[in-house]
Structure 1
Amino acid sequence: MEIKLLKENYNIEKLYQDFASGNITENADYISNESVHIPSDTNFPIYFAKAHNSFEDFKEAIQVLKKSYIDTDRDIHLSRRFWHSFLTLYKRAYIIEKYPEVLESKKNFTNIVLKKFDWENYIYKCVLAAEYIKDRGFDSEAEEVKFMKVIYSNFDLYNYIIKYNVFRNGNFIINFLTAIDEEGLSDKLKKKIKNRSDLGKDERYGRRVIFEMNKNYPIIMAPFLDKVELKKEIHKFLKMYD
């Protein structure tokens, strides 16, 4: 399927007005002459906040991305321009049905459809998860879903991990999140750290563990540790804040 691309510096206000009114046409002045080809245009959930906070949607997004999108070049499936073009120009009906609040304001539209393509963007989070799962080669779909649940149960920590380039590594993320799941540390890592005036107001144990791993890299090569060694490092850094 050919996907036409938006211009690099398109007019968001005009794009939103045309999206809301259903008046987007192929010769609109915010559409470029460039295009890319993808093998599938299968719908999948793109937003998991507020009323849309659903593990089933999260799982569906990763499964569809893994099956239908991540075999494209990474220049495509990790491109802000591609996803913004694809969603606004080709997925209007699905988005309005699934996320009707996009028609209420440009703010909602931007937050759900045109969000910056980084660790805060839900498609970005799911694309990385789909890549990690595919590269790992789990033994069964049940094992894949189990890991998706681990990510979903530790979403804040997952977000924090993928902010760091050095930790944006499939083996590390799978081993790290699986380790804290096996050690029963999810609740602990979500908790605020108390009685530490030297830290920020909303410091969490999990974030500090990742902070310490990043600070100690490359002395401690956390991204390349196996699960057993990661468990030792996690407990070591946790003790620093207890």
Structure 2
Amino acid sequence: MQVRLLKEGYKKDEKLYNAFIGGSLSNNDDFFSDEIIEIEEAPDFPIYMAKGSEEEKKVDYMAAFQAISKTYIKLDRDIHFNERFWHSLLVSEKREFLLEKYPQITENYNEFSKIVIKDFDWENYIYKCILAVEYIGDSVELYYEKETYYDLIIENLDLFNYIIKYAIFRNGQFMLKILTIIKQLEVSEILKAKIKDRADLGKDERYGRRVIFELNKSYPVLMSPILDVEDLKVEFIKALSLYYDISLLESQEQTVS
């Protein structure tokens, strides 16, 4: 398959949206450059998981992880992290899929921008899924173990999002160690819960965000990205203890040991 790349500046051009909705966009020289990327296959997968029930979101995330791990992740990294490649692929080859899966994009340009040509950063769902697949795929070999870690990411999306905002934490080994600690301590529900009775914090602070905030604040005095799991667990619990009564966790640790 040949993916012809959009011309620069396409995200500010509402004519692109009108041509996409009207079905006249494909191979239109007004929008596409002469640059072409060759790929072998391009399966459909969910690209937007902001709406729906928790179970629906989980199904969509797992479908995205599987499609990306089987195909797109095998492309060169400068392709699968190329914003223009993804937006070009979506508008030129995925129109019917997108209209069926996300009919709200026909309502207005803002919905289209939010779902189809969203900036390719930590808030973009394709970007998140690629990072997750890279992190787990590079470090975990057995399929059932990958599924376990994918489940942990889905259960801890708020924390995952917060981690990938920080460049120093954006690596697979750190993410895998954090997920391992969460699994060992069984703290998923705690980490995504809102912090109450702390007037000094924001209105929507979560325990998991504050843990990562504390680890980031202590860097580089504390080189948390390169600590082993056990040492990182100590620092993780220490950071959590600043906001949460960890006596129950400590009791659990003593029971396990």
TM-score band by shorter chain is over 0.9
- TM-score w.r.t. the length of structure 1 is 0.95
Task: Give unpaired runs (5+ residues) of structure 2.
Answer: 245-257
Deviation at 1:226, TM superposition (A): 2.1
Q: Distance in 2 between matches of 1:227 and 1:25?
A: 50
Q: Which stretch has the larger CA shift, 179-188 or 76-85?
A: 179-188
Query: Once the 2 structures are TM-superposed, how far is the Cα of residue 111 of structure 1 from its aligned partner?
Result: 1.0
% of aligned pairs identical? 51
RMSD of equivalent CA atoms:
1.4
Q: What is the distance in 2 between the residues matched to 1:222 and 1:182?
A: 18
Q: Is the 8 A contact 2:51 2:57 kept in 1?
A: no
**Structure 1 residues 89, 232: CA separation in 2 closer, same or farther (over 3 Å shift)?**
same
The one-letter code sitting in structure 1 at the alignment partner of 2:49 is: F
Cα offset, 1:51, TM superposition: 2.4
Deviations 1:54-81 (A, max 9, x none): 2122111111111101121211100111
Pairing partner for 1:161 from 153, 157, 163: 163
> Does the CA contact (< 8 Å) of 1:180 and 1:231 recur in 2?
no
In 1, Cα distance between equivalents of 2:26 and 2:198: 56
**Could you report, residue by residue, the CA deviation over 1:120-159 in whole angstroms, capped at 9, with x for unpaired residues?**
00000000111112211332x2111111110000101100
Whether the 8 Å contact between 1:189 and 1:204 is mirrored in structure 2 is yes
1:67-120 C-alpha deviation (Å, 9 max, x unpaired)? 101121211100111111110111101111111111122121111111111110
Aligned residue number for residue 12 of structure 1: 13
Rounded to whole Å, the distance in 2 between the matches of 1:12 and 1:170 is 36
Alpha-carbon distance in 2 for matches of 1:154, 1:7:
37
Q: Secondary structure at the match of 1:88?
A: helix
Question: Could you list the runs of 4 or more consecutive aligned residues of structure 1 that deviate by over 4 angstroms after TM superposition?
Answer: none
Structure 2 counterpart of 1:3: 3
Partners of 1:155 and 1:88 in 2: how far apart? 27
Q: Equivalent residue for 1:119?
A: 122
CA distance in 1, matches of 2:194, 2:57: 24
Aligned residue number for residue 184 of structure 2: 182
> What residue in structure 1 maps to residue 144 of structure 2?
142
Count how many residue pairs are aligned between Structure 1 and Structure 2: 241
- Structure-1 separation of matches of 2:241 and 2:26: 59
